[in-house]
Every structure is written in structure tokens, then in C-alpha cells.
């Protein structure tokens, strides 16, 4: 397919470890190719590449990956797995053990935020959260 766009994650010698880690967390994932410099993998048919580029660059929250979750169990799964050995932040954000930033977000959040009467209460509720709690947001 021409003009396909995919993410390239920079790594300091841990490309294979990163790809294997992400593939262990996401059900529909697989490593598609690997060599000493580059590991390609897919998550939910979305391609990613990890490049063993050296110590020159680090990740920052300026670039994050959003995972929309339909259930609290899904939120809990990604929060626990991706956050292990990482850093938990406010409002569903976390940095995994490699420094990659993820947003673990309930799918229903957009609907709740578009209700002009309810949105301020929802914002007030999630500003107090690290991991999102769907029930608390719905009851806000």
C-alpha cells in the first residue's frame, strides 16, 4: 500500500524487547520482521517500527498513544500492564518502562464531554483521577 503512515519508536538497543513487550500486552499483535537495526510489529493491524538508534533521543509526552477502552476491565488491563515499572500520571496518562507515553481513555468520555450540562462535573471528576474510573465519570 502506497503512502502508508506508521510510528517509528526510537530505542537505545532495546527494539526487540520493546516489540515483544507491546505484543505481550495487546491481544491482536505480532512481530512482522526483525533485524539488528529495526523490528517491525503490528497492534490491531496498525504497523509500528522500533529503531535501534542509540542514546541520542528520548520519548516525551508531546507524542502519546491513545487507547480507547469500552470497559473498566480494558482500562484496568492496559493501565496495569503498560504502567508496570513505569510512571502513572494524571487523567489516564502513563509513561511505560521505556518512556513511551500512553493515554488509557474510556470510549464513553467523548459522549460525556459533549453533554454541556454534565461536562464540567466530568472534568472535575477526572482531574482527581490517575486511572480513569468509568462508573465515577458516568455518575458525575
**Structure confidence by residue, pLDDT tens digits, 127-138:** 999 999 999 999
Give the residue ranges of the chain where pLDDT is below 50: none
Please tell me whether residues 63 and 3 are part of one structural domain: no
CATH number at residue 45: 3.10.180.10
Cell readout for 124 is: 472535575
Instruction: Say if pTM beats, i.e. exceeds, 0.85.
Output: yes
How many domains does the structure of the chain reveal? Answer: 2
Please tell me whether residues 135 and 82 are part of one structural domain: yes
Distance between CA atoms of 58 and 55, rounded to whole angstroms?
8
Residue owning grid cell 480513569: 132
**Which pLDDT score is estimated for 1?**
58
Please tell me whether residues 51 and 82 are part of one structural domain: no
Distance between CA atoms of 97 and 86, rounded to whole angstroms?
4
Percentages helix, strand, coil for the chain, rounded to the nearest 5? 30, 30, 40
Please tell me whether residues 39 and 90 are part of one structural domain: no
Please tell me whether residues 67 and 52 are part of one structural domain: no
**Which pLDDT score is estimated for 119?**
94
**What is the residue range of 37's domain?**
1-57
Please tell me whether residues 80 and 106 are part of one structural domain: yes
Amino acid at each position: 500500500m502506497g503512502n502508508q503512515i506508521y510510528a517509528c519508536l526510537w530505542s537505545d538497543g532495546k527494539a526487540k524487547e520493546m516489540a515483544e513487550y507491546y505484543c505481550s500486552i495487546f491481544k491482536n499483535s505480532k512481530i512482522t520482521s526483525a533485524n539488528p537495526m529495526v523490528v517491525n510489529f503490528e497492534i490491531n493491524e496498525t504497523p509500528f517500527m522500533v529503531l535501534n538508534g542509540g542514546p541520542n533521543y528520548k520519548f516525551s509526552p508531546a507524542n502519546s498513544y491513545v487507547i480507547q477502552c469500552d470497559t473498566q476491565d480494558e482500562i484496568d488491563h492496559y493501565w496495569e500492564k503498560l504502567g508496570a515499572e513505569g510512571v502513572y500520571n494524571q487523567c489516564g496518562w502513563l509513561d511505560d518502562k521505556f518512556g513511551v507515553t500512553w493515554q488509557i481513555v474510556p470510549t464513553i468520555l467523548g459522549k460525556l464531554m459533549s453533554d454541556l450540562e454534565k461536562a464540567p462535573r466530568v472534568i472535575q471528576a477526572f482531574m482527581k483521577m490517575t486511572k480513569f474510573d468509568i462508573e465515577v465519570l458516568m455518575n458525575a
